[in-house]
Amino acid sequence: MPKGYWINHVEEIVDQEAFGRYITKWNALVERGEAKMIAIGPVAKTQIGRVKIQFAAVVEFETFEKAMSFKSHPDYVDALRELGDDETLVVKRTSCVVSG
């Protein structure tokens, strides 16, 4: 069964405090083994595209199905609440799911 991955690009963190609360809850999920951080950090160079990406992350899940459904995991939903009803007021980002 293939693993699943989230590939995340953060363009801008608008509200550092709220985003920090989200990250604290996200890190608890990682520490518990719900997901594995493969790579995370500031983007050194955007090779193609006009959008300036500040940070990127690659997250690994045990299965593709888990990666596809994790956004509805109760503890992740709790973390997302830290971003409010309109998360673009806290962070501008994209996230996609791929099979690997």
How far is the C-alpha of 27 from the C-alpha of 35, rounded, in Å? 9
pLDDT given at position 37? 97
pLDDT given at position 31? 97
Contacts of 13 (CB under 8 A, 6+ apart): 19, 54, 90, 91
- The full set of domains in the chain, from first to last, is 4-42+60-99 (3.30.70.100)
Strand partners, 40: 57
pLDDT given at position 60? 98
Contact by Cβ (8 Å): 9, 91: no
Render each residue's pLDDT in the chain as its tens digit; 100 residues. 899 999 999 999 999 999 999 999 999 999 999 999 999 999 999 899 888 899 999 999 999 999 999 999 999 999 999 999 999 999 999 999 999 9
Contacts of 98 (CB under 8 A, 6+ apart): 4, 5, 7
pLDDT given at position 51? 85
